[in-house]
Structure 1
Amino acid sequence: MPTRRHDPDRRSRIIDACLDVIAAHGVSGTSHRKVAALADVPLGSMTYHFDGLDDLLLAAFTRFAEQQSTRYAEHLADSDDVRSAVVDLIRDNLTDQRDLILAQELYTLAAREPSFRVLTNAWMSRSRATLERYLDPLTARMLDAVIEGVTLHRALDTEEPDPRLVEEAVRRITATL
């Protein structure tokens, strides 16, 4: 009788590989076969760990959203000036092309699929809750919208973003603070 290989990190490796496949091929180009090959696991492992492609996509995007939320919160916690921290977050930390692609793929999927919309709403709520540690709820919501909007522009715009635009937007929204 063949022995089973002990691979406690297999599910996690599959999730990470799924994010890489999405970044390279989009959600529409993601398949169990591509993910299994990249994760270096047997194709049968996919159905052992996930009920289907939607289950895998949800696990992958959940990990992505949690990683982004953690990075966001850590960045703001490391600063004494929330305005500067938000400007830096938008200008310097939201520039990774892979992350921009993953965010856009998630947003597009969430526009069509309610279970992914629940995930994006939870992610936005965490972002606002982080901002609300430093700002009132209305200002936090406005800044979160600016962050999301600039992220969208950065992912899609053909021109380099003007860093002064970010500074001015944050200054105007937080002018009463």
Structure 2
Amino acid sequence: MNLLQQSRARLATLGLALASAFAALLGGCTSTPLPPPAKPVTAPVVIAPPTGLDKMSQAVTPYAYRRDAASHLYSKNTDRIYLGKMPPLLYAIGVLQVEVDGRGRVTSTSWMRAPTHAPEVIAEIERTVRAAAPYPAPVRMGRVTYTDTWLWHRSGTFQLDTLTEGQY
């Protein structure tokens, strides 16, 4: 055998050895799928209310909270809500901002548009807002300042713009 033939024989032997090693490696692989990894157990997110609160609001914006606040005010003043559509000419219209802390207490009020021609209405709205506290606690916001428009009839009944039945 000459040198060229010996080199070819060694190369063929090396190729067979590599092919055998590769086949052995593949033979060790499994075709059975692995079970899915265990999912971590997560408890549902529960926002605990501050101690002693009866009502909570899950609102995440002041606009969403005002519906909860208006419903609360209506429930505390059922005999003072004007039922049905309001007449076209109202005695007073006022726009009030109310700040509520994390426990539902009113911390401040400020008029954006006060019905200055009817100071008794201003005083009565402020008294009504404060008397209705505590409001639903804004647990997802911590505290909130919301705005609502008071539609006041000369009979002393009212509707809030958030829950109004409209006007004729």
- With the shorter chain as reference, the TM-score category is under 0.3
- Greater strand proportion: 2
- Greater helix proportion: 1
Larger Rg: 2
TM-score by length of 2: 0.23
Give the number of the structure with larger relative contact order, counting CA–CA contacts within 8 Å between residues 6 or more apart.
2
